[in-house]
Structure 1
Amino acid sequence: MVAKLEKLAEDARSGMLAKSEKTEWRGENAGVTKPFVKKTVKEFDDAAAQAKSIKNVLKDAHTDLKAVQSELKTAVTDGGKQGIRVQDKGDGTVWCVIEHAPDNGDPTEQQREARKGLEDRINKLIARAEEIDDSAARALKKSHGGDTHNFGHAKYSSLDDAQAERALELAALGPGMNKQQYAEFNTLMSFNSKDPEFSTTFYKGLGGPEQALRFYGRMSLDGTLGDDKERLALAKDFQRNMGVALATATDPDNKSRLPASWGEKFRELGTRQIELEQGAFGREYYGYQLLGGMLRHGNYDADFLTPIAEHITQLHHEEPMRFMSTKPTGMGDPDYGFNPSGKNGAGYAPLTSVLEALGHSPEASERFFTGEPTVYRENGTVDKDARLDYKYLDEFTKEDFEWPPDTLAPPGTDGAEDAFNHGPNALGHALEAATTGRAYDSQSTAPVEHTRKGAELTERLVSYFGDHPELIRHNENGEAEDLKTGPLHALRDSLGNITADYMGDFQRVMYGGDVSSGRFPVPGEAAVFADSGQVQRFLAEVGQDPDAYASITTAQQAYTSLLVDEVVNGESQSTVSLEQRVSNSVAPGALIAGIMSEARADAVLDYHAASAKDFNEAAADKGKWANRVVELGTSAIPPRVPVVGEVINWVAEDITESVVKSVEKDVVTAGEEEGSRDYSRARQATVDATEEIVRRALLNRSDINSDTALDIRETASTQAGNSYGEGSMWEASGDAS
């Protein structure tokens, strides 16, 4: 139809319009017939344009709906494989039911999580289909216009155009959006924020960088003011959607994108105060405060984000509290600000915000911490002749570094005290991204190759905090009353995650292993730690944090499982006995287990910085680290059939439970405050875990008789106990401090 109407329109232009223009009209015809011909020809053009618009919308809607349908079919199939049945609720949503539980008993926690995850996944896909349908219907209505005597109204080159148009219509309402309109806006943004054409069209439609900042600022303050929890929830979604869309629109790899001048303009506006409401006194805020709220979400390109991060850091170096002047006083509303998420500050400190942004942007973060710095002037332009006399990591890790108190909580309250950890927490997130190559809060278990610069940054962190563990110490005035809490103790959970991601490198250094041996496979480049004493001091301090302890312990046990499996079932030309090689494989992990166990005891019994319950709960939540190490094994260790299937499946399914059981057996007895160190119990937990690892690895070795298998397990368990003792007693000797 588009092709036919375009031909008719061309015929009309070259036919009757051309003839009409050549004719000399006189009398009434000059004022009636000639305009009528022009109008008629225009209708042919409008009809062709309307048909093309309809085609574009329907074509995109069909493509998008087909993709959603495919994902839905895959989801239902996946559920069936897990023993989960999908049922229609009759209201446009589904609910999922577990049909098969182990031994006909109660469903496992893993099954419950899988059921909930599948239900959420399917319902989101259905909601996406509804949004596509609504957007297409709205676009078709606007294309038609409702006039039976007039073609040509709204024209769309794609469904994205129609969706962006609607989002901009709603954005024009600003805080005047009612909750239904706000929800519709968030739905449009949520489903399209990763679409370059939509995101670029949307941000351009706002009018430019300053208008985008003003819109975000007005909506953020509106959503965080008062006690309207529903409005606050909408503002949280708004913040995430705006950030992800901005990351998409500023990615130079996308065909549709914002010009690089947007980044330059954001830097210029960063130090300017922007009036959010015309004539509203006291409603002026720095551009970087507004931008920071958006930057907290999305994976940003390094060319866009790193210059902003450098500029903000350099501004902070010159005047640490410069942005605090606009922070409201006497509000009594701790949520009010530019960070509706409420995570790590109210949003008045751009430094915290941009570090959070780096935490979601691995490439930008690595460049920030390891690249050659660029100096920026006050207005955000580059000063090519200037050089920095400090490095960013050195700046942040100084004992007297001044973190802005990004909170509206009254002095003396818990919220005010927590504010001093916002900056260090965000710094930890940025370091995680820079070293691991993934966003700090990523749930993906796929291995990411470590870069040379990321590995070198990890080496620097271990060296620095191994020499200065007091900076990350957390002491709640337990028995060690003379030791102060370090200003960067909030970093420890992130340092624990980095350690878990580099577990192969940490195990290698325990007994002075050589990188070239290849015995400790790692993804990508290896981190080489020069001083094992630094590594031990680093682990001893980091392991006192429950989350760090759980990440490291889970990764250690999973990694040891892979090493043992490789020795037992892999190919080798070694003339050393299998018994000895298995023992060598369990030793590094057991030594780390000893350090971790003693660190846990220090935190609970000496520093009173955490409870046994904290450690137990943290361990139960670290299954992703077992899975990440398993994925590493399947990609870095040559595949073997059929053994790898058995052993890898065990690691994936059972390692988390094994870790939790080990933790529960660890160092603290009942009544924590009056508790004592129970060395034998903690040691036995490591021995038991080692024996289970070796037993599983031997399952498919039919050529090894039961007596030999028993000797191998006992020898390995003995070695694990001895290495555990080395780690535990060394840490307890006081060298770690």
Structure 2
Amino acid sequence: MALTYADLLEVDLGKLGTAVSDWKKSVDALKTAAESARKGMRAKSDAARWAGVNASVTREFVTKTTKEISDLHSEASSIHSLLSDGHTELVALQKKIRVAVQQEAPGLGVRVEDIGGGKVRCYFAHVRGDTDERTQEERDSKQELEDRINRLVAHASEIDSSLARALAKSHGGDKHNAGHRSYESLDDAQAERAAELAKLGPEMSDKQYMELNSIMKFNARDADFSTDFYKSLGGPKEALEFYGRMSLDGTMGDNKERLALTRQLQRNMGLALASATDPDNRSHLPASWSGEFRKLGTQRVELNPHSGMSAYGYQLLGGILRYGNYDARFINPIAEHVVQLHKKDPDRFMANRPVGASDLDWGFNPSGKSGAGYDPLTGVLEGLGHSPEAAKKFFTDPATAYREDGTVDKKATLDFKSYFDELNRNDFEWPPDSLAHAGSDEAKHARDVGPNALGHALEAATTGSAWDADPPALHRDEETWKIMEKVIGRYNVASEDGLPHEAMKDSLARMGAAYIDDLNYSIMDWGGTGDELGRGRIFGESGDGSKRASFGQWEARNFMMLVAADEDGYQTLSAAHQVYSASGLASLEDNRDDGLAFAHNAAKVNGILDESRSHGIREEFKDDETAVIMEENKQAEWRKTLMTGVLTAGVAGGTALVLGPAAGVVATTVIPVVMESGASTISTAYGNHTMEYLQDNEYKNDPRALRDVQELERVGERGAWSPVRNYAIAIGMTQAEQLALNPEIEQSYLAGKSAISSNEKVSA
């Protein structure tokens, strides 16, 4: 019977703690008895010169008794270790769930209800006189709490099941025969059970598959468990065989339940491999595993001897690497080898795709994200996208040449300077990692997955965080800044190497948002109006505590012009900039001159972003003037919603969205969250009725419609002015001073717009 929510919340774990103490006493006593038996009667028995039947019977009895005492000691030690580990983990989980239920839930006005099956639901309690209207933030918080409680219960249930199973094996069920399976920890027991299930391969029932995933889900990041699990599979080749067989089994046909289980296994195996191959962990796999994986990378691994189905080792490993934060010493040599193999023959691995397949999901990437899994380049780039330290080294460290078998070739030279240069070539040939037939709708985006994965790897390298981290965080330093400088140099409207692939643009926008402070800093001295000392004082230190450096005025502008031309990129950068501006001004309330200089510069950046998007709209709809107007109105409506929604909720609500410029850098967590909030607001900010009204009335000289349109056209100025107005009030400006300042800020905003709209040269 599975452990329930009520069990975890209410059970008295003190009794289990007492049992742990009692078993510890038994272990100590039995250890003494075992030593006495071995050194006493067993030693005397072995030394005695007995003869006859009595001698053989007595010696055998003494030997057997000594062994039984030793076995009792081993069994007691195993039981104590299991109970101790189980008690420690359950106490920690119980503490977390009590905090969630007894403190966090009431704080949110939420009640927790046990709905059976180890699940709970959270709901808002009705209060008399309350409208029961909830904000999206409140609903999100409620759902996050519900999901977290359910995860805690599921984890406790897994520990309870594993503990019961291991205790049964340790005891053996025979009261006359002590000593059966002995465990040094609960991890040992869980790894053993996972190995037992894994040996079943595709023959696992769904129930057994769920059990395996449950064990791995809560232990994959535990290096003791993950190392034992991978060793139990046999070795690198056997690990790849297991994953490949399970992957093909789960992606074949239309069994959604089996596919879901396989997706969980893919993630669990990736997380486990990352922890098992980190040499800094106490338990880890030998360094030789990386070399063996490279050797297997270009070899065929047989998966189904009856059908002759085989895969290259790298195709299988690529599916696993998509999840987990890997150590650079493990993943980077693999990534380098894969890139070099791709350069020699871009279609090498693609030639292994099944021809004429009707099942487009069948392959080695059950996740369904970024390809079918036949191109290992995508897999390793996704792996780097979740491994920020490794990604940083991959794009900055000197390249190492590898032979076909994955061994280092010290005599060879490579014909590219760095992996950044190689992968960001405009003519880089990305494989179509898909089973879609040429000419079909599905095949149109077959070559998108590689650039998309490259964008993710660059995000990790420039932000110091996994590209899809939840919650997001920024860990920038001098090395991440240098990579971002290369990104800005490569991807901008003046780049001689061409525009980015469409699939990369969302990543470029998020990278820009992560460096919105440095982009502002780079723009500050535009036109020669600022001085370096003043600029440094206003913007403070960089994220790593070092002196802030500039990307270059024109370089920063050209990058923002490229990114903000697209709607999604514009919204991402604009949302980040508005939050940064408001919070930055709030930190400069004690220095009026610096605050106003910061405000003027922020207005210029506003102008750059708005005019960049306007250029993008005019280019996108150059043959449809009505569409241009509609899109620009949409942009204006979104800006208005951003200012009154995200900004008000964030800054006015007291959230520390951005550390003040004097303190340094964009906050470690909130900017990406704000962008998400902005995006969700955007989807409802301008309903069809609003756009239809504008379209229907704009050309009929309707006075109200014209006023609305004029106001929307001025929202850019309003967007630039709103945070400044709050700042002006905070520093005690009179209304007359505010009225005088408003047109000055507008002029800075227009200066940003005009630098683009006037079609000035795009390079310094």
The answer to whether TM tops 0.5 is yes
Aligned equivalents of 1:88, 1:699: Cα separation in 2? 50
Match of 1:532 in 2: 553
Q: Deviations over 1:423-477 (max 9, x none)?
A: 11000000000011000001325442x222211111111122225569775xxxx
Per-residue CA deviations over 1:195-236 (Å, capped at 9, x if unaligned) read 110011111111111111111111111110110011111111
Aligned position for 1:688:
718
Aligned with residue 322 of structure 1, among 322, 326, 348: 348
In the alignment, does 2:483 pair up with 1:457? yes
Residue by residue over 1:154-189, the C-alpha shift from the partner in whole angstroms, topping out at 9 and shown as x without a partner, is 110000000001000000000110101001100000
Letter in 2 for 1:518: R
Which of the residues 98, 119, 124 maps onto 1:73?
Answer: 98
Q: How does 1:27-176 map to 2 (within 5 A)?
A: 27-76=52-101, 77-99=103-125, 104-176=131-203
* C-alpha distance 359-145 of structure 1, shift in aligned 2 (>3 A): same
Q: Does 1:559 align with 2:559?
A: no
Q: Contact conserved, 2:373 with 2:379, CA < 8 A, in 1?
A: yes
1: distance between equivalents of 2:618 and 2:105? 44
Alpha-carbon displacement from aligned partner over 1:608-630 (angstroms, at most 9, x marks no partner): 9999699899999x979x97996
CA RMSD of aligned residues (A): 3.7
Verify the 8 A CA contact 1:359 1:432 in the aligned structure 2.
yes
Write the letter of the residue equivalent to 2:610: G
Q: In structure 2, what residue type is equivalent to 1:598?
A: S
1:412 match: 439
Q: Superposition pairs for residues 468-479 of structure 1, below 5 Å?
A: 468=494
Once the two structures are overlaid, the 10-residue window that deviates more, 677-686 or 8-17, is 677-686
- Of 287, 312, 315, the match for 1:260: 287
Task: State the percentage of identical aligned residues.
Answer: 42
Q: In structure 1, what is the Cα distance between the partners aligned to 2:497 and 2:253?
A: 38
- C-alpha change, 1:394 and 1:365, in structure 2 (3 Å) is same
> Which residue in the other structure is 1:594 paired with?
610
Distance, in Å, in 1 between the alignment partners of 2:315 and 2:334 is 12
When normalised by structure 2's length, the TM-score is 0.84
In structure 2, relative to structure 1, the CA distance for the partners of 1:429 and 1:658 (3 Å cut) is closer
> Which of 510, 517, 520 is the aligned partner of 2:539?
520
**Matching residue's letter, 1:28:** V
Distance 1:253 1:607 in 2: 59
Closer, same or farther: CA 501–709 of 1 in aligned 2, 3 Å: farther
Q: Is the 8 A contact 2:604 2:750 kept in 1?
A: no
Alignment match, 1:584: 600
SS class of match (1:385): coil
Query: Unmatched 5+ residue regions in structure 1?
Result: 474-485, 640-647
Q: Is the 8 A contact 1:223 1:231 kept in 2?
A: yes
1:276-319 deviation digits (Å, cap 9, x = unpaired): 23x33431111110000000000001111111111110111111
Change (3 A) 1:407 1:552: same
1:643 aligns to what?
Answer: none
Which aligned pairs between 1:171-250 and structure 2 lie closer than 5 A?
171-250=198-277
Bigger shift: residues 539-548 or 43-52? 539-548
Flag the 1:67–1:509 CA change in 2: closer, same or farther, 3 A. same
Number of residues of Structure 1 aligned to a counterpart in Structure 2: 702
* Contact 1:586–1:720 (8 Å) recurs in 2: no
Unaligned runs of 5+ in 2: 1-25, 700-705
Residue type at the aligned position of 2:570: Y
Residue 274 of structure 1 deviates from its aligned partner by 0.9
Instruction: Return closer, same or farther for 1:489/1:92 CA change in 2, 3 Å cut-off.
Output: closer
> Does the aligned pair in 1 maintain the 2:607–2:750 contact within 8 Å?
yes
8 A contact 1:271–1:288 mirrored in 2: yes
Matched to 2:574, the amino acid is T
Residue 290 of structure 2 aligns to a residue in which SS? Answer: helix
Query: In 2, Cα distance between the equivalents of 1:48 and 1:400?
Result: 68
Q: Distance in 1 between matches of 2:408 and 2:694?
A: 56
Deviation for aligned residue 1:503: 0.3
Contact 1:687 1:717 in 2 (8 A): no
Q: Distance in 1 between matches of 2:753 and 2:95?
A: 53
Q: Secondary structure at the match of 1:518?
A: helix
SS, match of residue 276 in structure 1: strand
Q: Which moved more, 1:95-104 or 1:201-210?
A: 95-104
Cα distance in 1 for residues equivalent to 2:359 and 2:646: 37
1:367-382 equivalent positions in 2, closer than 5 A: 367-382=393-408
TM-score w.r.t. structure 1 length? 0.87
The alignment partner of 1:420 has SS state of: coil
Is the contact between residue 432 and residue 497 of structure 1 (CA under 8 Å) also seen in structure 2? yes
Shift in CA distance, 293/564, structure 1 to aligned 2, threshold 3 Å: same
Amino acid at match of 1:2: V
Q: Secondary structure at the match of 1:170?
A: helix
Deviating above 6 A after TM superposition, structure 1's stretches of 4 or more consecutive aligned residues are 100-103, 607-611, 613-620, 626-630, 648-655, 671-679
CA contact (8 A) 1:72 1:125 kept: yes
1:360 aligned onto 2:386: yes
Residue 722 (str. 1) matches residue 744 (str. 2): no
Aligned partners of 1:441, 1:650: CA distance in 2, in Å?
14
Query: Where does 1:291-306 land on structure 2 (aligned, <5 Å)?
Result: 291-306=317-332
- Distance in structure 2 (CA, Å) of the matches to 1:212 and 1:658: 41
The residue matched to 1:154 in structure 2 has which SS?
A: coil
CA distance in 2, matches of 1:106, 1:585: 39
Tell me the residue number matched to 1:483.
none
Indicate conservation of the 8 Å contact 2:241/2:303, yes or no. yes
Q: Which amino acid aligns with 1:336?
A: W
Structure 2 SS opposite 1:226? coil
Residue 721 of structure 1: CA displacement?
A: 3.4
Retained in 2: the 8 A contact 1:57–1:139? yes
Name the stretch that deviates more: 219-228 or 713-722.
713-722
- Paired AA for residue 600 in structure 2: N
Kept in 1: contact 2:538–2:661 (CA 8 A): no
Question: Aligned in 2, Cα 1:414/1:657: closer, same or farther, shift over 3 Å?
Answer: closer
Match of 2:8 in 1: none
Say which is worse superposed, 374-383 or 290-299, in terms of deviation. Answer: 374-383
- Shifted more, 124-133 versus 252-261: the winner is 252-261
Q: Distance in 2 between matches of 1:733 and 1:29?
A: 112
Structure 1 residue 10 and structure 2 residue 35: aligned?
A: yes
